[in-house]
Amino acid sequence: MWKEEDNKLKRTFKFQDFQEAFAFMTRVAFLAEAQQHHPNWSNVYNTVEIELTTHDAGNTVTEKDRKLAKAIDELGV
């Protein structure tokens, strides 16, 4: 579940292994590029942490962030 904290939408995703985590990141990258809105994220082994904020709006959560979060959720993770 996404949580709004420190002017960011944040969520942690866990997978069986690094390969699944990386495949997920690849799918998210295509979504982000299509929406021209790119996440701050990190990956350690099977864990992907994503933070969404709109830099052009003063680093606050906007509809762009909510739209990308929804699209990520629709990947069925």
Give the tens place of pLDDT for each residue, 37-55. 999 999 999 999 999 999 8
pTM, full prediction: 0.91
Nearest of 56, 66, 60 to residue 7 by alpha carbon = 60
Count of domains forming the chain: 1
Question: Over the stretch 3-47, which tens digit does the pLDDT of each residue have?
Answer: 999 999 999 999 999 999 999 999 999 999 999 999 999 999 999
Task: Give the CATH number for residue 63.
Answer: 3.30.1360.20
Range of the domain at 45: 3-73
